[in-house]
Each structure stands twice: as C-alpha cells, then as structure tokens.
Amino acid sequence: MDGVDAGALIAALGGAVAALVVVALVGLLRRRNRTRADLEAMLAAAQRESDDLRARLDELSALLPDGSGALPAQAATYVITSAGDVAPRGGAASESQLEVPDRLVLSATVGQPLVKVAAFGHGVRRALSAESRNRIWFEMRRQVRSSRKRRRAQVREYQRQVRADERAREGLA
C-alpha cells in the first residue's frame, strides 16, 4: 500500500467499529431508562386515578340514605338514561370526571387485534418454513407407508380367512 501500513489501517477500522458499538450501547441504555421512567410515570398516574376513584366512591357511599355505605334492602333499580351527557343529573359538570386518553382508546381498539394478526402471521410464517414443510412431508410419507402395510396385512388376513372357509366347505362336502 502507498505509505499506509495495513496493520495501522486495520487498527483504525477496529477502533471505529468499537466506537460505534459503544455509541450504540449507550443509546440503547438511555432508551431503556427513558422507557422505564415513562412506565413509572404511567404507574403513578394510575395510582392517582385509583385514589380519585376511591375518594369518589366514598363520597357517593356517604350520600346513601342510611349513611352506612350499604344499599338499603329495598333499593330501587336504576336505569342509566344519561349515557354521554356532559353533566350529571341535578348539577353542574363535575371537576373529577375522567378523561380517557387517546392512547388508551387506541391501545384497546387496535392493540388486541394487532397482536392477534401478528401471532397469526408468525404461525403462518413458521408453518411455511422449509423445516416445517420437510417435517410434514416426512410425516406424511411415513403415514402413507404404514397405511399401505396395514392394508396389505388386512388383504392377507382376508385371503387366509377365505381359504380357510373354502377348506372348511370342502371338508364338509
């Protein structure tokens, strides 16, 4: 090579590859930590929401006629007729109304069918792999051979019975 030692070139390339690997690992670890922080934030939000719901339940339980939190024995049957109304009956809109985030709706409506489609696709891809086709071909061939053997054995047994019946008839005649 023109003035460049091959060993130095290999060392430089090795150093560049090592630097890229280190950068990739650092990026991966930062991304992993960021997702952990997101999960912790989501858990804290869920706990706050649970606490808010528990407080709301306690408020509504206190409004029951006997104040004990238990429904009276002859409680009236309630029918929900105000589904979708902004304000509850007899009052202004409550500040503690739950807002469902778009991510949750999207996750519930698209997430489960998407998982099913992905699982189905994985199964089809695995079923159509060369290894699977060879295994199926081998198993079918084995079953065809064994069914032929069974059929031949049945034919031989039937022929033996027919000959035995003929000999028995000849002996009686």
Write the pLDDT tens digit of every residue in 60-90: 887 776 655 555 555 556 666 665 555 555 4
- Are 40 and 32 in contact, with CB atoms under 8 Å apart? no
What contacts 62, CB < 8 A, 6 or more positions away?
Answer: 69
What are the b/e assignments for 121-160, b being 16+ CB within 10 Å?
eeeeeeeeeeeeeeeeeeeeeeeeeeeeeeeeeeeeeeee
pTM above 0.85, yes or no: no
Share of the chain above pLDDT 70, in %: 77
- Are 9 and 1 in contact, with CB atoms under 8 Å apart? yes
In this predicted model, what pLDDT tens digit does every residue of 147-169 receive, in sequence order? 999 999 999 999 999 999 999 99
- Are 64 and 57 in contact, with CB atoms under 8 Å apart? no
Mean pLDDT of 5-22: 88
Which string of DSSP letters, residue by residue, matches 25-93?
A: HHHHHHHHHHHHHHHHHHHHHHHHHHHHHHHHHHHHHHTSTTSSSS--TTPPPP----TT-SS-TTSPP
- Are 41 and 49 in contact, with CB atoms under 8 Å apart? no
Of 42-51, 108-117, 163-172, the least confident: 108-117
What contacts 89, CB < 8 A, 6 or more positions away?
Answer: 82
Q: Which residue has the higher pLDDT, 42 or 164?
A: 164
Rg (CA), the chain: 38
Dig out the tokens for 122 from the structure.
């994985």
